[in-house]
Structure 1
Amino acid sequence: MDILEKIAEEKIREAIENGEFKNLPGKGKPLNLEDLSTVPEDLRMGYKIMKNAGVVPEEMQLQKEILSLHDLLNCCHDDQERELLKKKLSEKMLRFNSLMEKRKMPGTSAFRTYQSKLYDKFNR
């Protein structure tokens, strides 16, 4: 155990003895762990920071919009409205594909893995 670990352990012991951990918010409740297994490991920290800052990556926003448009298309019975939705969907898909292509870096398997998972999710 190095010096920093010893100092940290001592500080934790002191806090426990002083009762500083007794009334923490969320005490006795399960932890809310996020499932980031579909995000490549090298992108997880960046996405976590963006999420904590309240920023949604553009590709995530486009994903939501594309899925919503798919749902609307499935429920739509009006031909004019259907054509309008198809046009919007096509524009969103083009933007998404363009965005993903720009972010693609040669030789990065993380991108290819993430891209294939996104495509699989869209084509269900």
Structure 2
Amino acid sequence: MAIMSWLAEQRIEEAMRKGEFRNLPGHGKPLELEDLSGVPDDLLISFKIMKNAGLLPEELQLRAECATLENLLAACHSCAGEKRELGRRLTEKKLRLEELLRQRGLDGSAAFAQYGEQIRIRLDQG
């Protein structure tokens, strides 16, 4: 396998010397990296394929949105109103995801089972 890696590296270096990469789309621009930390490892490849094809299931969209909101919430230190709004949006997304997983028979998630009742109580309170 090492020979294949070496050969690939040699071909890439040769193409770079010839300037074959100069006119590629996005040349000289920073890469646009996606935050896929909210997607389970076993679903990551299928998530990427479906996303690239424009066919992203709602539960995967919700998982990604939840991860983004959790990161924003963790980074929010200054404004209590903003933190409360982010928390509310996160709760809504989690409840929608839980409902969707239940409808599809995929509701065996320990995380939702643990926090589901607490989330419902909080929403009922205000």
Call closer, same or farther: CA 1:32–1:61 in 2, change over 3 Å: closer
The answer as to whether partners of 2:15 and 2:21 remain within 8 angstroms in 1 is yes
Residue 103, structure 1, aligned to residue 106, structure 2: yes
The answer as to whether partners of 1:15 and 1:21 remain within 8 angstroms in 2 is yes
Matched with 1:20 is: 20
Which has the greater radius of gyration? 1
CA distance in 2, matches of 1:121, 1:23: 51
1:7-52 Cα deviation digits (max 9, x unpaired): 1011112101211011111112111111011111221111111101
Call closer, same or farther: CA 1:48–1:112 in 2, change over 3 Å: farther
CA distance in 2, matches of 1:112, 1:97: 12
1:61-116 Cα deviation digits (max 9, x unpaired): 7899xxxxxxxxxxxxxxxxxxxxxxxxxxx789514235x1246xxxxx445x57
Percent of aligned pairs with the same amino acid: 44
3-state DSSP of counterpart to 2:28: coil
Q: Which has the higher contact order (CA 8 A, sep 6+)?
A: 1
Unaligned 5+ segments in structure 2 are 66-95
Matched with 2:78 is: none
Call closer, same or farther: CA 1:12–1:95 in 2, change over 3 Å: same
3-state DSSP of counterpart to 1:103: coil
3-state DSSP of counterpart to 2:4: helix
TM-score, normalised with respect to structure 2: 0.52
Matched length:
89
Matched with 1:34 is: 34
Which amino acid in 2 is paired with 1:96?
A: L
